[in-house]
Amino acid sequence: MTKQLNPININDRTEVKIAVVAEKVSNIERSQDDMKTNFEKDLGELKTSIRDLISKIDGNYVTRTEFLPVRAIVYGLISLIVLAVVGAIISLVVLQ
């Protein structure tokens, strides 16, 4: 013989399971709201940090077009120094 389940017990268990599922869904929704709030806060902080970095870069760094003449002068002076040293070494070797 098969045992029959009492319909009242099945309904009670179903209601409990529904309540548990509803609570879990509610917790998930709260977690999503918290994540959204944290994300918006973090995004705002990132935007502020990027603005600060851009303002620092604009004020403290030299652009490439401003640097090119300085680079040419420095490279020219270094070339003259290296040429003088090599010339001195060669003159010492040749005169000896």
**Distance (Å, whole) CA 72 – CA 89:** 26
The pLDDT value recorded for residue 6 is: 52
First to last CA, the chain: 122
Torsion of CA 23, 28, 32, 37, to 10 degrees: 50
The pLDDT value recorded for residue 84 is: 96
Beta-carbon neighbour count of residue 77 at 10 Å?
A: 10
**Distance (Å, whole) CA 84 – CA 76:** 12
The pLDDT value recorded for residue 2 is: 55
Report pTM: 0.42
Q: Which two tokens stand for residue 25?
A: 């869904």
